[in-house]
C-alpha cells in the first residue's frame, strides 16, 4: 500500500473516524484505524457499537490495507508540517509516514482481523439537509437519559411518518421534541438511536444544506453524508408513549421573550451551588408578570419580567438547569409556556406552530 495526500485532508478524516475508535478495549485492533487503498483512500473506525467510514482525497500509488494505532497515528499527523504526506506499508506491516523532513516507522496490524462495518441495503431511505438534522439533534440531545438502568431512554426516538420527521428524548424529568416536515417522503421509520451516536454525528454534520440520507435495516441505522458514513446499532425495547404526556389542558399560560427568560433564570441560579441542587427556582405568576426567585444558604435572588398572561395566578418551582437547557436551544424570539397545576409539569411551545415541545417536571416545595 502506498498513498500520498495532503496533511489537512488526512487530519480531517482522522478526526472524524476517531470518534468511533474504542478507548476501552482488550482488543488492540479496535484501538486502530483501518486504512484501505482500492479505488479510493478510505479510513474506518469501529468500536462494534458505532462505525465511521471516511473517504479522503488522495493519490493512490499502490493498493493495500493496514490497521494503525489511532492515538499514535493522529498525534503524528497533527504535528507534521502542513504539506503532502506519504504513507507506505512495507514488509512485516511496518508503516512508513513521511512529510518533508519527517520520517516515521510505525508497527501496524494486518487488516484481516478488523471488524467490517455492517452492510445496510440502501433501500427505503430518506434525504434531508445536514443543517436540519444537526439542529434537531442539538434541540433534543440534552434530554437523553444517562441512567443505564433504563437503557431505552439513553437514546432518542427517531420517527418518520406522514412526511414528518420527529426526534424525542426523555430522561424522566423532562421531554424534548422536535419536528420537521420532509417533502415527498412516504417511507415510515421508528427507531431509537443511542445518544452517543447522535452526539458524534452532530460533530460531523455541516451547518449547510448538503444532504444526508438515512437508512435503517434490522437493528442498524446508516447516516450517509457522501464521503462520510456512520453506521450504528439501535437500542432495542419499547420507547415511552410520550404523546400521553403532552396535553393542551392548562391553568395558566404566559407569552415571554426567550432570551430575557433565560437570562433571568441564569442569574437566579447563580447562588445554587452543585451541592445545593435540591433548591429550585420559583416562578410566581400574577398580574401580567413573572417573579423568579431563588433562596439558598448563600443568599437570595429576585427577578421580575413582564409577560402576556392568561389564566390563574400560580406559584411553582423548577430545577433551573432543565429550563436553561431547553431555552438555550430555542431560536424563536418569543415562546408560550403552559402550566397545568402548581405541582404538574409545564409545557414550552412556539407561538406559531408546534415544531418543538419541551415538557419539564415541577419540583415539590
Write down the pLDDT at residue 221: 96
pTM for the model: 0.92
pLDDT tens per residue across span 105-146 = 999 999 999 999 999 988 778 889 999 999 999 999 999 999
Please report the domains of the chain, with CATH numbers, ordered by start residue.
Answer: 2-113 (3.10.150.10), 126-240 (3.10.150.10), 246-360 (3.10.150.10)
Query: How many other C-beta atoms lie within 10 A of the C-beta of residue 188?
Result: 11
Write down the pLDDT at residue 53: 97
For residue 267 the three cell numbers come to 442569574
Write down the pLDDT at residue 215: 93
pLDDT tens per residue across span 140-184 = 999 999 998 999 999 999 999 888 999 999 999 999 999 999 877
Residue 346 · residue 337 · CB < 8 Å: yes
For residue 37 the three cell numbers come to 487503498
Write down the pLDDT at residue 279: 83
Residue 362 · residue 317 · CB < 8 Å: yes
Q: Is the per-residue pLDDT at 207 higher than 90?
A: no
pLDDT (average), residues 328-352: 95
% of the chain with per-residue pLDDT over 70: 98
Residue 69 · residue 242 · CB < 8 Å: no
Write down the pLDDT at residue 249: 86
pLDDT tens per residue across span 37-76 = 999 999 999 999 999 999 999 999 999 999 999 999 999 9
Amino acid at each position: 500500500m502506498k498513498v500520498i495526500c495532503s496533511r489537512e485532508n488526512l487530519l480531517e478524516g482522522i478526526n472524524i473516524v476517531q470518534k468511533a475508535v474504542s478507548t476501552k478495549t482488550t482488543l488492540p485492533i479496535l484501538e486502530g484505524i483501518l486504512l484501505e487503498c482500492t479505488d479510493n483512500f478510505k479510513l474506518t473506525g469501529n468500536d462494534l457499537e458505532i462505525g465511521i467510514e471516511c473517504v479522503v482525497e488522495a493519490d493512490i500509488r499502490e493498493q493495500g490495507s493496514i490497521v494503525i494505532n489511532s492515538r499514535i497515528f493522529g498525534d503524528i499527523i497533527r504535528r507534521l508540517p502542513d504539506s503532502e504526506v506519504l504513507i507506505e506499508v512495507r514488509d512485516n506491516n511496518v508503516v512508513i509516514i513521511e512529510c518533508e523532513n519527517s520520517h516515521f516507522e510505525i508497527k501496524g496490524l494486518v487488516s484481516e482481523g478488523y471488524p467490517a462495518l455492517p452492510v445496510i441495503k440502501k433501500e427505503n431511505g430518506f434525504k434531508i439537509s445536514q443543517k436540519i438534522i444537526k439542529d434537531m439533534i442539538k434541540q433534543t440531545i440534552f434530554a437523553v437519559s444517562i441512567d443505564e438502568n433504563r437503557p431505552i431512554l439513553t437514546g432518542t426516538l427517531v420517527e418518520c411518518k406522514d412526511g414528518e420527521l420527529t426526534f424525542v428524548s426523555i430522561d424522566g424529568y423532562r421531554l424534548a421534541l422536535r419536528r420537521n416536515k420532509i417533502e415527498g417522503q412516504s417511507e415510515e421509520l421508528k427507531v431509537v438511536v443511542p445518544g452517543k451516536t447522535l452526539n458524534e454525528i452532530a460533530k460531523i454534520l455541516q451547518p449547510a444544506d448538503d444532504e444526508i440520507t438515512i437508512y435503517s435495516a434490522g437493528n442498524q441505522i446508516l447516516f450517509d453524508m457522501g464521503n462520510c458514513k456512520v453506521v450504528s446499532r439501535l437500542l432495542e425495547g419499547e420507547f415511552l408513549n410520550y404523546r400521553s404526556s403532552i396535553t393542551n389542558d392548562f391553568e395558566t399560560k404566559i407569552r415571554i421573550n426567550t432570551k430575557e427568560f433565560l437570562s433571568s433564570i441564569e442569574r437566579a441560579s447563580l447562588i445554587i451551588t452543585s451541592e445545593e441542587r435540591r433548591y429550585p427556582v420559583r416562578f410566581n405568576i400574577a398580574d401580567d408578570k413573572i417573579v423568579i426567585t431563588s433562596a439558598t444558604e448563600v443568599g437570595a435572588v429576585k427577578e421580575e419580567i413582564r409577560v402576556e398572561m392568561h389564566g390563574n395566578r400560580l406559584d411553582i418551582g423548577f430545577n433551573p438547569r432543565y429550563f436553561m437547557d431547553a431555552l438555550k436551544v430555542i431560536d424563536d424570539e418569543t415562546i408560550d409556556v403552559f402550566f397545568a397545576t402548581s405541582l404538574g409539569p409545564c409545557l414550552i411551545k412556539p407561538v406559531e406552530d408546534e415544531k418543538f415541545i419541551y415538557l419539564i417536571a415541577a419540583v415539590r416545595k
